[in-house]
Structure 1
Amino acid sequence: MPDNAGMAARTKSPAPSPGSSSGPSASGPSADGSPDTTAEGYLAQFLGAQTVRLGLRERKKQATRNAIRRATFTLIEEQGYDATTIEQIAAAAEVSPSTVFRYFATKEDIVLTDEYDPVMLAVLRERPEGEPPLASLRFLLTEAVKAVSAHEPEELRQRSRLIVEVPAVRARMTETMAQTSQALSVVLAERTGRAPDDLEVRMFTAAVLGALREAMIYWGERGFEEDLLAVVGRTFDLFERGLTL
């Protein structure tokens, strides 16, 4: 999980009153012209602002990273995952193999990396004070899936296919989700007044992300026939029922 230390902290809003809407709204400004405060809107606004703020050197790095990812997905679509080599990816992206490894440690990381991780912790920290942890994670992860689906739908489907079909990609996904779980646990511990290494917080976050992992695999195994947001919604509904069948 990338560092969010450079982000300005925002004042938490109070928890919504009973019956009020705390769910996502449409992306973009509201009817009165105020900024969109949903996670999806925040992610989009942050990414746009980040692009503007980046200096020339950082913009070049971002362009190189994106070129490597696009080349990787194109080659995999054409010839399969195992047949695609780092050397081929480098040639297609017009960089050297060493440059590919400078940006991504493994081929699996190229497939699994997206542009949304840098803001996940900041979005979670901005949720209303007193909001139940499950509601916070439901909002955060649902809106993240919504943003990725809107921004790069084909990459999302291709990534999910590879998670289903390629053991190395699935194994690396498990590792990266464990890292994300640990980072989210620290923020949830802060929000609930618990210790950073609190066992219950760690188990809670790991359970939610583990279930989300299975939801993504389920979606890919069935050829993306179901709406992904509906699958994610069913996942959180199960937790809200107390994990009862």
Structure 2
Amino acid sequence: MTIESRGLRERKKWQTRQAIRREALRLFTEQGFADTTVEQIAEAAEVSPRTFYRYFGVKEAVLISVDHSPLIVAAFIAAPRDLTPIAAYQYAVTEVFGSLSEEDRQADLLGQELLYQVPEAHGLIYAEMIKLIGLITDALQHRQDEPTDVAERRVLAGAIVGVIMGAAHNDPLPEKSLPLALTILDAKIAW
């Protein structure tokens, strides 16, 4: 398979995923989450229910915004070296969310609002946060000049994610509260 065909294939997957998510959010808005079926979403997105499940696994997974975590972690690693790990994470979040189109921003906001309202989705929030702790733990070894053990990096990653959870609870895309909360955490850690 050539690089061009692989790129085209990935783009088609991305477009299919976005079409499914867009139609699901539209139907959730019109009919409510509980009254919308996977079959209705699949029909509206012009895919089969099997394709829906291949992309999302469960209906609640549609509520999770596009996985920005890898982009944030890449920006975190690339952040200016003079920033503390907390400030570098805040920098990365600002970079990624600042680059969203208005359409993507609105879709993420709606998905996040529903994510916190639908009790069946709360387990997904937990799973995403655990995944993020792992990503930040791994990324920290690229940010710090001195080698640190995995336990130390995991504690720092857990503190960052704890702040995110506290700021994001019932406040999707917490653009004002998250920077303040991260600044407080940064001030309390002795570097």
Does 1:87 find its partner at 2:33? no
**2:56 aligned to which of 89, 104, 107:** 104
Contact 1:145 1:229 (C-alpha < 8 Å) held by counterparts: no
Does 1:176 find its partner at 2:128? yes
Q: Aligned-pair RMSD on alpha carbons?
A: 2.5
**1:235 aligned to which of 177, 181, 188:** 181
Contact 1:90 1:97 (C-alpha < 8 Å) held by counterparts: yes
Give the drift of 1:76: 0.6
Contact 2:62 2:111 (C-alpha < 8 Å) held by counterparts: no
Contact 1:69 1:110 (C-alpha < 8 Å) held by counterparts: yes
Give the drift of 1:115: 5.3
In the alignment, the residues of structure 2 paired with residue 190 and residue 56 of structure 1 have an alpha-carbon distance, to the nearest angstrom, of 31
**1:156 aligned to which of 84, 108, 122:** 108
Which residues of structure 1 form unaligned runs of 5+? 1-51
Contact 2:56 2:62 (C-alpha < 8 Å) held by counterparts: yes
Give the drift of 1:124: 2.0
Give the drift of 1:134: 1.1
Give the drift of 1:123: 1.7
Q: Percent of aligned pairs with the same residue?
A: 30
Runs of 4+ in 1 over 6 A off after TM superposition: none
Which residues of structure 2 form unaligned runs of 5+? none
User: TM (normalized to structure 2)?
Assistant: 0.83
Give the drift of 1:150: 4.2
How big is each residue's C-alpha offset from its partner over 1:156-182, in whole Å with a ceiling of 9 and x where there is no partner? 321232132112222201211210220
In the alignment, the residues of structure 2 paired with residue 78 and residue 122 of structure 1 have an alpha-carbon distance, to the nearest angstrom, of 36
Give the drift of 1:70: 0.3
Q: How many residues align?
A: 185
Counterpart of 2:30? 78
Counterpart of 2:98? 146
Counterpart of 2:147? 194
Q: 1:91 to 1:169 in 2, by over 3 A?
A: same
In the alignment, the residues of structure 2 paired with residue 171 and residue 118 of structure 1 have an alpha-carbon distance, to the nearest angstrom, of 20
Letter in 2 for 1:108: E
| SS of residue in 1 equivalent to 2:169 | helix
Give the drift of 1:122: 2.3
In the alignment, the residues of structure 2 paired with residue 120 and residue 71 of structure 1 have an alpha-carbon distance, to the nearest angstrom, of 26
In the alignment, the residues of structure 2 paired with residue 53 and residue 184 of structure 1 have an alpha-carbon distance, to the nearest angstrom, of 32
User: TM (normalized to structure 1)?
Assistant: 0.66
Contact 1:133 1:188 (C-alpha < 8 Å) held by counterparts: yes
- 1:1-245 to structure 2, matched below 5 A, reads 55-114=7-66, 116-148=68-100, 150-192=102-144, 193-195=146-148, 198-220=150-172, 228-242=174-188
| SS of residue in 2 equivalent to 1:219 | coil
Give the drift of 1:119: 2.6
Contact 2:73 2:92 (C-alpha < 8 Å) held by counterparts: no
How big is each residue's C-alpha offset from its partner over 1:169-196, in whole Å with a ceiling of 9 and x where there is no partner? 222012112102201111102332435x
How big is each residue's C-alpha offset from its partner over 1:86-145, in whole Å with a ceiling of 9 and x where there is no partner? 111101100001111111122222210415344333222212335311111111123333
Q: Greater helix share, 1 or 2?
A: 2
Q: Which moved more, 1:121-130 or 1:145-154?
A: 145-154
How big is each residue's C-alpha offset from its partner over 1:197-220, in whole Å with a ceiling of 9 and x where there is no partner? 621211111121122122122425
